Amino acid sequence: MSAPPGASDVPLASTAQKKKIRLPKAGTSILNDFFFTVSHHPSHEQQRVLLAQIHQSIDPTYTLKHLQDWFTRKRASEKQPASNRSTGMSLKEIPLNPEQIRHLTELYNSNKNPTLGLLQTWSSLLKVKTTVVTDWIEEKNKLPSPAPTVSPEPNLPSIYRRSTSVSTPLSVPSPVIANSRFALFKPEPPQSPVRPALSPILPPAVLPPSSPSPLLITIPKRVPEEDTYKAGFLEAFASRATSEEPTGPITREMLNELFKGPEADMKAFRGMVARGELRHQGYTPAMAKSRY
């Protein structure tokens, strides 16, 4: 018996349905950028925008179900310890030369969560593919951070070391102080049970009787400023009076000559007022009479 037609096509169809679609590195960079910078739980509208970006330049066969599954796996992987995550390739296996690694490390230290546009800029500067840069950053983020270092306490004499035990009672003097010929320090009540306070014995500061108090501030009296304008005028008048000869009228003839013109005008004006020619302007003839 021959097999029914189309029977050989069934396993092929089921195999095609079970085939897993793997998103390229460029698409993974888009999703990682959104996951670490925007949200771990994209809304339905945000999922459609991400899917449109992947369809446009990366993989038109990628579906909304694949995108949702990717975010589910990503959230689950972030909850795992760093030692249990899949490492993929190591930093040594990524195709970068030492010069490129040095520049990329400087860029990474300046921004440890770069966007997709920034990743593309870095790849163009380093002249490598964007997927190489994203792989290097993913592996770099998986490395454990260095443990903080603690500098050891310097070797100081025992008298200066901090005691980590309960301090000695004040009634019992220190053997260093008691056996010393000249006492340099005296114990004081400790500020805390861990760190006792030691202070040197200093002689009291005594100021001589003649020295002024350090808080006394002497304010000098303000000398009144000289009136420069008044002094300038007086100087100008004095110099003019001594350097120039008087030019004004000093005799009767000179005065008569000086006032001859104005006096003639005044007589003509009084004649017009006396004749009533300026009555319309408010001048009456009585005003022309002399009062002297």
Question: What pLDDT, in 10s, does the model give residues 208-237?
Answer: 555 555 555 566 666 656 667 677 777 777
pLDDT at 290: 72
Confidence band (pLDDT; 50, 70, 90) for 44?
A: very high
Confidence band (pLDDT; 50, 70, 90) for 163?
A: very low
- Mean of the pLDDT values across residues 186-202? 54
- Mean of the pLDDT values across residues 59-71? 91
- More confidently predicted of 15 and 41: 41
Please give the angle made by the CA atoms of 129, 54 and 90, to the nearest 5 degrees.
40
Q: How is residue 84 annotated by DSSP?
A: G
Show Cβ contacts of residue 193 under 8 Å, excluding neighbours closer than 6 positions: 166, 167
The Cα–Cα gap between 96 and 136 comes to 9
pLDDT at 195: 53
pLDDT at 50: 92
Question: CB of 94 within 8 A of CB of 135?
Answer: yes
Residue 21, pLDDT > 60, answer yes
- How does the average pLDDT of the chain come out, rounded? 71
- Containing 44, the helix (H) or strand (E) segment is helix 44-57
Question: CB of 27 within 8 A of CB of 51?
Answer: no
- Mean of the pLDDT values across residues 90-113? 83
Residue 47, pLDDT > 90, answer yes
pLDDT at 14: 44
- Is 1.10.10.60 the CATH classification of the domain at 94-143? yes
- More confidently predicted of 159 and 233: 233
- Mean of the pLDDT values across residues 47-55? 92
Residue 32, pLDDT > 70, answer yes
Share of the chain above pLDDT 90, in %: 9
Residue 68, pLDDT > 60, answer yes
Residue 158, pLDDT > 80, answer no
* Count of other CB atoms within 10 angstroms of residue 122: 22
Domain ranges of the chain: 22-86, 94-143, 170-200, 253-292
Question: CB of 19 within 8 A of CB of 12?
Answer: no
Over the stretch 262-276, which tens digit does the pLDDT of each residue have? Answer: 888 888 988 998 888
Residue 124, pLDDT > 70, answer yes
pLDDT at 220: 64
The Cα–Cα gap between 53 and 51 comes to 5
Q: How is residue 199 annotated by DSSP?
A: E
Alpha-carbon torsion, ordered 274, 276, 282, 287, to 10 deg: 20
Q: Tell me if domain 22-86 and domain 94-143 are identical in fold.
A: yes
Q: Is the dihedral of CA 91, 96, 101, 104 positive or negative?
A: negative
Q: How is residue 127 annotated by DSSP?
A: T
Looking at the DSSP bridge assignments, the partners of residue 200 are 185
Class of domain 22-86: mainly alpha
Task: Take residue 131 and report the two structure tokens written for it.
Answer: 């997927």
Helix (H, G, I), strand (E, B) or coil at 279: helix
- Mean of the pLDDT values across residues 65-74? 91
